[in-house]
A and B are shown apart, each in its own frame.
Chain A
Amino acid sequence: MAETTETTPEVTVKEKEPLFGKAEKKLLLDPLGDTNPITIQVLGICSALAVTSLVYPSVVMAIAVVFVTGFSSLFTSLVRNKIPKQVRMIVQLVIIATLVTIVELTLKRFNYPIYKQLSVYIGLIITNCIVMGRLEAYAMANRPWRAFVDGLGNGVGYGVILIMVAVIREVFGKGTLFAGSPIQINLIGASNDEIGYLINTAAESGIGSWFAGYYNNNLMVLPAAAMFIIGIFIWIQRSYRPTLVDVS
């Protein structure tokens, strides 16, 4: 038998990319600062104004948006090559709306009181520009895992700003933290029979008495305050990183 030397064709093996490599890290961390959806991309402002009067609903809202942005990016990316071009935006909208409905049903099932408090805002996640924005800007042109991480990152970037604004508005506008939740902290105010504050401005002595005559800032209670606070954040961020000044 004649020996035949077989030459194996050259097969280039694509290196399996790490699940959480440099690119993923960038997608997750950039939206926290340099590409923040609210302060840099200036998206999703509407709900940032409405929800942030209290911290507890803002935290729940932030979690909901992270979930919706992440999974809508994931699902859109999975079907990105199969969506007919004529119905591209409609399909994106259906994916988002379905996920938001799932969030709503989950809240109704597991925490009905918080659902009652947030019922209007949950529906508004569908109209939140960040969600649709990430689908169009990234998920439609990238692979599922990356798209998922990008969605999560932007959701978290949004959530961080949301919670920071809410903390300022609630502490100065109402004198409490996490009002409405099981871990409500009454920070500053005049204690009476119904409600006790840590810094009791009605006290005769002690720290509380230094603040006698302190009134909650009623402007903080109105959505306009969120506009001012976000404006200040944008100002601080761009002063700190001048390279971002002409970005948007």
Chain B
Amino acid sequence: MDSTSSVIRFVVIMTAGVAFSLALLSVSWGQQIKDNEAVFNKRAILSAVSDYLSEDPKLMSDGQIDELFSSKVEQIALDMSGAVLKKEDIVAAGYKGGLPENIDMAKEKKKPEDQRIFPLYILNTDKGKSYILSVRGNGLWDEIWGNIALKDDLNTIAGAAFDHKGETPGLGAEIKDNPTFPSRFKGKEIFNDAGVYTSVDVKKTGGTANNPHAVDGISGATVTADGVDEMLERGIKYYLPYLNKQAGAKKTKG
């Protein structure tokens, strides 16, 4: 057995050396990693409106995504009452950058419901205006999240994009891996003819072709599909105060 002091000496030197090299790597790559994460999130947001774009966001380069986002996307942050937040409010909520795109939906989910803030992205292209909402919920194994794009009428869905942390590949993971699933939401409506909010249900039994307020689920992925249903119902509801204000303003204008 080696002496205690030689053991301590070895351990201290090893720890210092390892910590130093990892810290060095982490710091020198830190900014690039943050940028990678921001582009990843922006790409996910734009995937919900791929129909409005000239190219599929999944195939665009990082530079193209950044450029598109900064030139064509207006971003605002809202609180649960539908009020538009200022930069200081976003910073006060814990996001140093003060931009709506900095808002971490995972972090917000942990806060009590009435204290949450969330981003709204408004895309302006020559194909029209689109409102992109961010929602987050629970799947079978872990969290799921997504972006839902509404058309100018603030009722019809223009597109959707989903992601998840650990759903089963081939089953729950199909909400992301299989492009057929998000495309089912296109053209569905979140308000019924009487103007009442219904969201869009995900029906296990299928047969939703003629139902403007429901889509087919994924066979074998009941819990994940139910999770999507709940996530949309609750997540879109958060935006209603703001959306109703916009719709009201439109009506008085017209």
Could you list which residues of chain A lie within 8 angstroms of chain B, going by C-beta atoms? 53-54, 82-87, 90-91, 94, 98, 101-102, 105, 108-109, 112-113, 116, 120, 173-174, 179-180, 192-195, 216, 218, 220-222
Contacts and interface: CB of A to CB of B under 8 A. Distances in A.
A53 B32 CA distance: 30
Contacts of B183: 193-194
Interface in B12-35: 14-15, 18, 21-22, 25-26, 29, 32-33
A195 B25 CA distance: 40
Contacts of A105: 22, 25-26, 29, 33
A173 B39 CA distance: 31
Contacts of B37: 112
B55 interface: no
Q: What's the dominant secondary structure at chain B's contact region? A: helix
B125 interface: no
A86 B2 contact: yes
Contacts of B25: 102, 105
B36 A102 contact: no
B241 interface: no
A98 B21 contact: yes
Contacts, number: 74
A109 B36 contact: yes
16 contacts: A84-B7, A90-B11, A91-B11, A94-B14, A94-B15, A98-B21, A105-B26, A105-B33, A120-B166, A174-B170, A194-B179, A194-B183, A195-B178, A218-B220, A220-B170, A221-B169
Contact of A192 (B15, B180, B220): B180
Given A108-B36, A109-B32, A194-B179, A85 B1 contact: yes
B10 A109 contact: no
A64 B159 CA distance: 36
B22 A108 contact: no
A63 B25 CA distance: 20
Contacts of A221: 168-171
Given A84-B10, A86-B2, A94-B14, A54 B169 contact: yes
B177 interface: yes
Q: Which of A98, A112, A195 has the largest number of chain B CB atoms within 10 A?
A: A112
A81 to B, nearest CB: 12
A150 B17 CA distance: 26
Contacts of B178: 195
A98 B15 CA distance: 10
Nearest to B36: A112
B6 interface: yes
A108 B7 contact: no
Report the contact-size class of chain B (Cβ under 8 Å from the partner). 20 to 34
A220 B179 CA distance: 21
Contacts of B26: 105
B18 A82 contact: no
B170 A84 contact: no
Q: Which of B40, B169, B177 has the largest number of chain A CB atoms within 10 A?
A: B169
Q: Which of B1, B2, B15, B166 has the largest number of chain A CB atoms within 10 A?
A: B2
A170 B104 CA distance: 33
Contacts of A84: 2, 6-7, 10-11
A102 B177 contact: no
Nearest to A222: B168
Given A87-B10, A216-B170, 20 more contacts: A84-B11, A85-B2, A87-B7, A91-B10, A91-B11, A98-B18, A98-B22, A102-B22, A108-B33, A109-B29, A109-B36, A112-B36, A112-B39, A116-B40, A179-B177, A193-B183, A195-B178, A218-B171, A218-B220, A222-B168
B72 to A, nearest CB: 22
Contacts of A179: 177
Contacts of B22: 98, 101-102, 105
Contacts of B14: 91, 94
A226 B33 CA distance: 34
A190 to B, nearest CB: 10
Contacts of B11: 84, 87, 90-91
A218 B168 CA distance: 11
A202 to B, nearest CB: 12
Contacts of B36: 108-109, 112
A40 B99 CA distance: 55
Contacts of B39: 112
A218 B33 CA distance: 36
Contacts of B7: 84, 86-87
Contacts of A216: 170
